[in-house]
Amino acid sequence: MSRKKVAVVGAGLAGLASSIRLANEGFHVDLFEKNPYTGGKMTVYEQDGFRFDAGPSLFTLPHLVDEVFELSGKNPRDYFNYTQHSTACKYFWQNGKELVLKSNMEHNIKAIESSFGLGAALSAEAYFNDSKKKYELTEPFFLQQSLHRFKTFLDSRVFKVLGSILRLGLFSTLNDVNKQYFQDEELVQLFNRYATYNGSSPYKTPGIMQMINHLEHGKGTFLPIGGMHEIAKSLTSLAREVGVNIHLNQNVEEVYSDGKIINALFVCGRKKFYDAIILNTDVHFAYQHLLDKKIKRPKKTLAQDPSTSALIFYWGINRDFDQLDLHNIFFSKDYKQEFEQIENNSNFWIDPTIYVNISSKIETADAPAGCENWFVMINVPANEGQDWEKITNDLRDNVLDRLSAELKVNLRQHVSTERILNPMMIEQLTSSKGGALYGTSSNDRKAAFLRHPNKKLSGYKGLYFCGGSAHPGGGIPLCLLSGKLAANWCIEDIHE
């Protein structure tokens, strides 16, 4: 009997993870990638002696990477290693206040008490505990299971979630929840920032997003040895070892259906037939450019707003800054106005919140001696044809002015090399709608249910979805889970 054949389109983290799981089940797996590299948004860039991770910079839940190696019968440490960093993030406000938070609740409570008083510290302790409870209650349901399968709702854990529905924050915004805990605007702003972890606004996304705080301050932040790109690099090595056929520079042009059975794709001038197809592509791109026009479109899903994108400056800095750490946030003066400007495409470049990641603080080889590699990211709207050249120039000036003022140095004199990535470029490289970093936004309490399911439903057979625009969402952990859900569903269907 010949082996069942599955095609995976897109070699991002979700595509790699799903391919490995399928190969471990004995399927013939072809993984097609239009770029000359794997990893999707997780790429690497080197210039003038500096190394930059060009994509995600925050790494949490490393056991999800380990799991892929372990199910393949491999020791993860033979392929992939990482360290836990004690400091989660350093925060800076323009009024001079600073705060250092770690993956240690006792330290964080003392740090908040020192800067904001006993009342704020007691509120923070309650907030951290509530974040943990929300995460532990909902993670097995919202993240580990498909919300689009009836059997998911037969799980006994679902009834615990439903019994706690009123205290999960689904009917209030993250900002509303944070204001219930904190009187200090700085602390509200700090915990509001977790909405940006899925490209959303804290003034719209539901309060349940509070649980993201637990990932950073409860579970911890990590850095792969060799940089973030090692995640994709190691999974690529594993994929090849378990028999995945990786085809780089292979652009899939169309996915075909035979009635309601999706069973073929057109690539490099040839039509290839498969028992199932998994798309690790942006769902908007898939329906607009890949899928047979006869296949029904999910109107509500495709009508959702894209998440925010980013404008990123990769700066080689010719000196070091002892006051900075791996992760640093320089907040805007008016957070609500900043998000309104992002939403309305108006003046978001004037006073943005600035994220500075410096991997050379830990991976010293990422920069020449006495220098630092700065990944400077600003949340911006998805590409809709804005004048990115002008926006980039204005934003660059404002960011340099702000950081120079806050660090008390003329930063312009210390930028020795530079590369810039804007939403239009992200869109071109990754085929994500508007260069959205996380697929669709979560600016709605129904967003989790409207995100595209991991299988094409409505009676269709053979088509599955994974990646940031599919359930459960964007970011490293969720993409790995998305690949797992899509692969497992595909395996179940083929074995029926």
350: in domain: no
165 and 248 belong to one structural domain: no
Write down the pTM of the prediction: 0.93
Residue-level pLDDT at 226: 95
Whether the per-residue pLDDT at 69 is higher than 70: the answer is yes
List C-alpha distances in Å: 103 to 137, 163, 184, 220, 327.
20, 30, 22, 5, 13
- 370-411 confidence digits (pLDDT tens): 999 999 999 999 999 999 999 999 999 999 999 999 999 999
Q: Is residue 429 part of a domain?
A: no
Q: How many domains does the chain have?
A: 2
**Residue 117 placed within a domain:** yes
Task: Say what the pLDDT of residue 166 is.
Answer: 56
Domain's final residue, options 187, 218, 249 = 218
Same domain, 131 and 208: yes
Bridge-based pairing state of the strands 50-53 and 44-47: antiparallel
Q: Which of 218, 245, 270 is the last residue of a domain?
A: 218
Q: Are 118 and 205 within one domain?
A: yes
In this structure, are 239 and 185 located in the same domain? Answer: no
pLDDT level of residue 449 (50, 70, 90 thresholds): low
Asked if the model's pLDDT at residue 467 lies above 90, the reply is: yes
Confidence band of 3 (pLDDT split at 50, 70, 90):
confident
- How far is Cα 454 from Cα 439, in angstroms, rounded to an integer? 14
Q: Flag whether 19 is in a domain.
A: yes
Q: State the CATH number of the domain containing residue 300.
A: 3.50.50.60
Q: Measuring CA to CA, which residue among 74, 83, 8 is closest to residue 238? A: 74
Give the C-alpha separation, 426 to 436, whole Å.
8
Within 10 angstroms of residue 117's Cβ, the number of other Cβ atoms is 13
CA distance 280 to 154: 28
* pLDDT at residue 153 in the model: 56
The residue from 179, 199, 218 where one domain ends is 218
Highest-scoring range by mean pLDDT, 9-23, 262-276, 451-465? 9-23
Domain assignment present for residue 115? The answer is yes
- The domain in which residue 485 lies consists of 5-42+56-83+226-304+441-495
Find the angle CA(363)-CA(365)-CA(367) to the nearest 5 degrees: 100
Residues 114 and 214 placed together within one structural domain of the fold: yes
Q: 109 and 211: one domain?
A: yes
Please compute the mean of the pLDDT values over residues 304-327 and round it to a whole number: 95
Residues 115, 182 share a domain: yes
Q: Residue 394 domain-assigned?
A: no
Looking at the domain assignment, is residue 160 inside a domain?
yes
User: Same structural domain for residues 297 and 446?
Assistant: yes
